[in-house]
A and B are shown apart, each in its own frame.
Chain A
Amino acid sequence: MRIFHYWFALWGIVFRELLRFVKQKERFLSALVRPLIWLFVFAAGFRAALGIAIIPPYETYILYEVYITPGLIGMIQLFNGMQSSLSMVYDREMGSMRILLVSPLPRWYLLLSKLLAGVFVSILQVYVFLAIAWFYEIQAPLEGYLWLLPALLLSGLMLGALGLLLSSFIKQLENFAGVMNFVIFPMFFMSTALYPLWKLQESSAWLYKIAEYNPFSQAVEFLRFALYAQFNQHAFVYTAVAFALFLILAIIGYNPSKGMMKRKGR
């Protein structure tokens, strides 16, 4: 196999995902409306919820809308990661997945390409969301928007790999709704997306611990610092390790001889 084949396969998969994204206008809209409702309705009602502590990367007092924005970026990527896994289940049911997996390229490469395709779509969604937020006076330093790009790539990959791993457990599309309820919601609510750790610690010690070890929290913190042109090393390492772990498990999961597909297929 030549490098050209790898590139061609990657382009094919990414292009297919982008085409899907562009053609499904309602998917784009719903991906955008969800975080915007959180921002304009939920966050507006909780303006005074944060109290008065200043936490890094912020250097002064912030409104709740400003705090919640990186969490909503994470939310876009979390939903996108799960949604592209959902499309994986669909592909598998409809047979197009088989065509993909019988290609002579290694399986890990195909899965990674699929992941990247999903991440690119989520990055587009995030920047459109941030552009709207800008007019709502949620403005980060300009260089932060540049720093955010590599951070979005890593956090998107991590959340996509998690979706991929979960999709390897699921045989039918209907079961995915359960995953949405049991994975997406707990992951989002028990994280630093909505409240900072110190605030969670005030309400419950166990919630604080869960949020601290929740990889989604770490991804959100990594994004939060990047948006303010700062690097959070701890969150970076945590997110990168979680990505590697989820990806390895997903690749094993998608191995027909060893993985979950075989076990589930019985």
Chain B
Amino acid sequence: MKTKVLISAVSLLFVHVSLAETVFVSLEKDNAIAVVDPIAGKLIKTVNIGQRPRGIQLSPDAQTLYIATSDDDTVLEVDANTLVVKNKLPSGEDPETFAINSDGTRMYVSNEDDNQVTVIDLSTKQAVHTIGVGVEPEGIAVSPDKQWVVSASETTNMVHWIDAKTYEIKANTLVDPRPRALSFTADSQQLWVTSEINGTLMIIDVASKEITQRVHFSVPGVGKEKIQPVGVIVDKGRKWGYVALGPANRVAVINAQTYEVEKYLLVGERVWNLAFSPEQKRLYTTNGVSHDISIIDLDEHKVTKSIAVGRYPWGVAVKP
């Protein structure tokens, strides 16, 4: 009897886990990652991982979790199921953000202190190239068609277009002050870039490498100085784009066809990074100062829940 109960309990647990997506959040101050079940709305556990974890991403097959532990000067390769560290990648000094190409063969890491981008071969776990870019590179993205790697230099106020095959900078686009985050549209035709100081979102045409649209934000009751756009993400159908507005504690919902801001959604304090659920039904935000994440229902564009995760949540990755 006991065995039967145990088996059904375990199978129930299995069904539950397999149905729900899992959200991983890097906790900059706790030196850990938080594991959250967003459907149940619960923090499942917190796992110590390394010094000052920030950038966090899953491999395209969702089996490996990559976490930049900035103060350990490495990017960790972690088993996404067991959360056991498998490898330490040679990322160069103080890695903060990185990007992985769509087939999971290359990783591009921003080295803010060295003003360079390190390219890592994910099969051999070796750094295969370094590319000199502008001062303080931070935001980095690979186009879904694997043609471009784009790095944003915070101080130079430029995005650098690196050819993904030759590792040469082919073009530079001057952007608004302190570009923070970048995101390609799924069709690789546009690059969305946020400017923290100017409080704007720029949309760059990939073919011409020129800014074609500039979106301004204005939140009723919130001072302009608090509007500091950071994380940016665009949905698969290029219908909606979302921008985290930092200390304005809002996520801006942008119509990706008309470039109008349709809504500002109230989330936690200093909203930083964003990630979609696998079906793009939900959006997850990390709220650095209020130590939680918020869940946004994308059908209704409503914030449904905020869950406390630990100190200074920075990045977020979602495993199906």
Q: When the two chains form their complex, are residues B304 and A47 in contact, meaning their CB atoms are under 8 A apart? A: no
Chain A residue contacts of B294, Cβ below 8 A: 60-61
B313 to chain A, nearest CB (A): 14
17 residue pairs of the A-B complex, CB under 8 angstroms, read: A44-B221, A47-B220, A52-B269, A52-B290, A59-B304, A59-B305, A59-B306, A60-B266, A60-B294, A60-B303, A60-B304, A60-B305, A60-B306, A61-B249, A61-B266, A61-B267, A63-B266
Main secondary structure of the interface of B (DSSP, over half): loop
Tell me whether B41 is interfacial, beta carbon within 8 Å.
yes
Main secondary structure of the interface of A (DSSP, over half): loop
Tell me whether A48 is interfacial, beta carbon within 8 Å.
yes
Q: How many residue pairs, one in A and one in B, have C-beta atoms under 8 Å apart?
A: 31
- A59-B304, A61-B266 given; name 6 further pairs at CB < 8 Å: A47-B220, A48-B221, A52-B268, A59-B306, A60-B266, A60-B303
User: What is the number of residues of chain B that contact chain A, defined by CB distance less than 8 Å?
Assistant: 16
Q: When the two chains form their complex, are residues A54 and B221 in contact, meaning their CB atoms are under 8 A apart? A: no
Residue in chain A with minimal CB distance to B250: A61
Q: CB-CB contacts of B286-300 with A at 8 A, as 1s and 0s?
A: 000010001100000
B207 to chain A, nearest CB (A): 39
Q: When the two chains form their complex, are residues B221 and A60 in contact, meaning their CB atoms are under 8 A apart? A: no
Residues of chain B from 194 to 244 with CB closer than 8 A to chain A in the complex: 220-222
A63 to chain B, nearest CB (A): 6
Tell me whether A32 is interfacial, beta carbon within 8 Å.
no
Taking a contact as CB atoms closer than 8 A, the residue among A44, A47, A61 that contacts B303 in the complex is A61
Taking a contact as CB atoms closer than 8 A, the residue among B249, B295, B306 that contacts A54 in the complex is B306
Chain B residue contacts of A60, Cβ below 8 A: 266-267, 294-295, 303-306
Tell me whether A62 is interfacial, beta carbon within 8 Å.
yes
Q: CB-CB contacts of B32-62 with A at 8 A, as 1s and 0s?
A: 0000000001000000000000000000000
Task: Name the 4 nearest CB pairs between A and B, nearest first.
Answer: A47-B221, A60-B306, A59-B305, A60-B303
Q: CB-CB contacts of A39-51 with B at 8 A, as 1s and 0s?
A: 0000010011000
Residue in chain B with minimal CB distance to A45: B221
Chain A residue contacts of B222, Cβ below 8 A: 48
Chain A residue contacts of B249, Cβ below 8 A: 61
A228 to chain B, nearest CB (A): 12
Q: In whole angstroms, what is the CA distance A59 to B295 when docked?
A: 10
Chain A residue contacts of B267, Cβ below 8 A: 60-61
Q: In whole angstroms, what is the CA distance A126 to B41 when docked?
A: 32
Q: In whole angstroms, what is the CA distance A61 to B295 when docked?
A: 11
Chain A residue contacts of B268, Cβ below 8 A: 52, 61
